[in-house]
Structure 1
């Protein structure tokens, strides 16, 4: 008997609803349990430089600098119980490989990450593994849990070495980390493995929701899974991630071109991730040098003679070419971190050091713009003058210091080269050149006050890092506006470490020569010849006044009142009008309280008494508003000048200057004294 129309329609509707429920349940199950032996058919969400090759290989970053790439499962997973908010157990395993342009130089790495979003547009592509930037590190609002495979030791994040695995929560300062290694039953302990170098590795990550324990296990591909995990930490993921979370990978290259690959991936909620079929995993491109075909021997005498003549000609040509691009390598270079770049590549990058590529001429040489053929990256190449008797010493100091520094406000040294009579340093190219050009030489494109204050804070952070944040104390000895470079976003970067000196924390510097630039040299240098962090603070104080006033430290053509910048700012303060010293090109478009604080802080840093100068840690607190400037008057800043000179036997010189109560008379005395040292 046929069903009534109403009952028939109800039956069809019920069937459709049941099919939809079953389909949704099956889709949800697929989302929470998937395995990819290669990614040909995977519907991954790819961002940045990530791509899947035709053979199923997932490449997160290409062989280029400052790139980032992401690959996420396309739909978010519900990893929390709806009842109490606790996180379900889950497990994942994947096979990866990393290939750097320079196999022996550390670079950035990749992460497996639980993220509230599959697009992290705010993340920087430099030293943050594609997850964060300088402003959101450590924020609980990130809701990120990651396992990092890091090839770069960054002291800012307390990294243990340049080849480690770490567990990260909302920050790159790992809650637990260990050198990359795996447990071997043969030796009864952990055996180290390299993450970078093109070798395939497998990683297992397991989270026990009941115990809130995260285990991480690493091994070379083909080695059975070790029975002891590399890392095991209690991480309450339920308090970190959101109800719906994306799972996937992120990677970044920083300044060292690197390719990051994932060959296979398995993931499962509430169970063991299925094993990958290693025989089905795709291969990745060959990165080493290709074998050249062997020259076949020819029996005919005429052909043999021709080959012989061509060989002789080729040897002569190669010898001449090798002499043209010959380099000098000595034993001391083996221990330094910065990698060498061939002279040939630098010669071609700068078009033979052509005059049209010249960026500027500094105190120790010429600087050229170039483009490296290997990475297509723009660089700045500094050639230290041959006639400089200090050239080699300055060159070595710069290689030793900046070659191993990593800070967002310090110009990165990418490499170097040496020939007979020529010293070359290769830096990141700073698109907007040096700060002094925008302060003094291009009034039509002046920096705003907001930009200037940001530059000041950036350089303060860099100097603080040199004095206290690195493994040794670095005294820069030449802080000034012309040694501050601006990147594409007008961020200030401190450069030119040719005069820098290093010593251990708690030790004392041993320099015995007065070096630096007149106008920035602290008074005590003429007496002791000892550079210190305090003399750097003096130079930083002059730098503060330069940026705020738009004037050089010494203006020989100015009237007597404005001859020296320090004296002019102090006199304005005496008259109760310190803001009259501010750069007129700002057209009063600034926050008066901020400018006044910077001017007074500059004078405080330039105090003639070294002990009265604040350390850079305190300077940063003043600039960030975490601590107020001490109540000061012009007399407080300059009252120690005469007493200081009398203690040093300068009485007769004091009598000859009727304006000794002005702070910058000390600089005039210093100029006379330095003549005997230079």
Structure 2
């Protein structure tokens, strides 16, 4: 009830509280609105959410979500105590001291909001105006529908000169729209399945309403025949792999690397636990982490795996490099959960710290891949030998680096159940204490052997052997 009132007044439209109750227990609660909403729209949405939560009682867990907001309470903690904020300054009349006035106001406000909502829906329906939101409950706009010819002109007919890269989901081009805005234009790869065509618009509406400072913003889309095109905000500094392994290798200092590690964790935590639909990325790697002008990380391609046709897979031989990041239970058995992203994140963290690719062999004699090398150094207490030599030793705290390496190893444990959630990872990264109470168990990694068929030596006819190898 308090969050419903305070959250619209807080910058970023997000708040989390822990409320002590009789008997020594506590109620944990969060509320959030999308950042594109106005304060009034946020309040209206949360009033509806608050009223919907009443149907969850007396359950000890409740969630209510709308296209523009999300609320959750639980008697079990689902975020760390140090993530709470004091919301009392945002009450005009002293917080919840006037409890009954707030309850009555909330109920009346919710009824008024519902009546206004029904009236708005009816007026929209009677006028034949299409809905612009996901679930039809708020006035949030859907993605922009771009004209094919405008995107064609913006990218000089999808010229190779403007090509930024290519991956499992298709090629990406730099484009300049008529109004001068620079965007990234992704032409999706279409399979034979019609599923992508059927689900495309609904999924794009969902993805376009995901707003977080560590996630690349989807601006809109274009449908032209069988072609499906997505338009994203443009990231001038390209992808993280360029800074870790590529042309700009060694240019990131420790502070910048730490902020990238933390920001990426925050983006994944939002996808997994804070957006009203849990989104598993499935393909976290340095190439899918883009950097803005301030070198802040933004995760790209989230939600696209839901659009991938059934006859294609980013685990095929064409994209075998991704297997260096893939959780063993997902690669071997197709068992998918948020913990698959956690594993991939752990690999990315080790790459950021070491400057070594996950699939590169450091020692030719023993096939010492990055994860195996990291684990052996951890067992021997030689964590610092993993640190990229391009990082100035005077820039970082030794214990902090050791802690982050151990967090990465917690994320890559063989058992998915023992890996932390991404919100727990964020808490661990922000905590000043060491991980004396947490000891990572030995990880495993996915190894691939790609060999051409005897009849043809082309890469397109290569066969792939996938195996899971322990870190010993």
1:417 aligns with 2:417: no
Partner SS state of residue 152, structure 2: helix
Pair 1:438 & 2:231 matched: no
TM, length-normalised to structure 1: 0.45
- The equivalences for 1:484-495 within 5 A come to 484-495=289-300
Q: Given that residues 165 and 177 in structure 1 are in contact (C-alpha distance below 8 angstroms), is that contact kept between their aligned partners in structure 2?
A: no
- Match for 1:165 among 29, 40, 43? 40
After TM superposition, give the deviation of residue 442 of structure 1 in Å: 2.2
Q: Distance in 2 between matches of 1:397 and 1:234?
A: 40
Determine the C-alpha separation between the residues in 1 that align with 2:166 and 2:448: 29
Q: Is the 8 A contact 1:449 1:586 kept in 2?
A: yes
Describe how 1:445-594 pairs up with structure 2 within 5 A.
446-497=251-302, 499-501=304-306, 515-516=314-315, 517-555=322-360, 559-561=364-366, 563-588=368-393, 589-594=395-400
Whether 1:381 aligns to 2:185 is: yes
- Per the TM alignment, residue 568 of structure 1 is displaced from its structure 2 partner at its CA by 0.7
Q: CA deviation at 1:485?
A: 0.4
Structure 1 residue matching 2:172: 3-state secondary structure = strand
Aligned mates of 2:306, 2:231 — CA distance in 1 = 20
How far, CA to CA, are the matches of 2:152 and 2:384 in structure 1? 49
Let me know the Cα RMSD of the aligned residues. 4.0
| C-alpha distance in structure 1 between counterparts of 2:303 and 2:11, whole Å | 32
Q: 1:362 aligned to 2:144?
A: no
Query: Partners of 1:549 and 1:405 in 2: how far apart?
Result: 31
Deviations 1:477-526 (A, max 9, x none): 11111100001111100011254449xxxxxxxx9997552011111124
Partner of 2:420: 614
Secondary structure of the 2:396 match is: coil
SS in 1 for 2:294: coil
Do the aligned partners of 1:548 and 1:583 also contact (CA within 8 Å) in 2? yes
- Specify which of 207, 211, 236 is matched with residue 406 of structure 1: 211
Distance 1:477 1:466 in 2: 12
Residue 376 of structure 1, CA deviation = 2.0
- Residues 107-186 of structure 1 aligned to structure 2 (within 5 Å): 157-158=32-33, 162=37, 165=40
1:537-580 superposed Cα distances (whole Å, 9 cap, x missing partner) = 11111111111111111115852446411001111122321110
- Unpaired runs of 5+ residues, structure 1, are 1-127, 139-154, 167-172, 180-232, 238-332, 503-510, 639-662
How far off its partner does 1:611 sit? 1.2
Residue 143 of structure 2 aligns to a residue in which SS?
coil
Shift of 1:337: 3.0
CA distance in 1, matches of 2:181, 2:441: 47
Instruction: Name the structure with the higher helix share.
Output: 2
CA contact under 8 A between 2:351 and 2:357: conserved in structure 1? yes
SS of 2:373 mapped into structure 1: helix
1: distance between equivalents of 2:359 and 2:207? 29
The one of 148, 154, 160 equivalent to 1:349 is 154
1:521/1:538 contact within 8 Å kept: yes
Q: Could you say if the C-alpha distance between residues 363 and 557 of structure 1 is closer, same or farther in structure 2, counting changes exceeding 3 Å?
A: farther
- Aligned with residue 447 of structure 2, among 659, 665, 668: 668
* Paired positions, count: 340
**Higher radius of gyration, 1 or 2:** 1
1:325 aligned partner: none
Pairs within 5 Å for 1:628-639: 628-631=434-437, 637-638=441-442
Write out aligned runs for 1:120-269 (5 A).
157-158=32-33, 162=37, 165=40, 234-235=92-93
What SS does the corresponding residue of 1:672 show, helix, strand or coil? Answer: strand
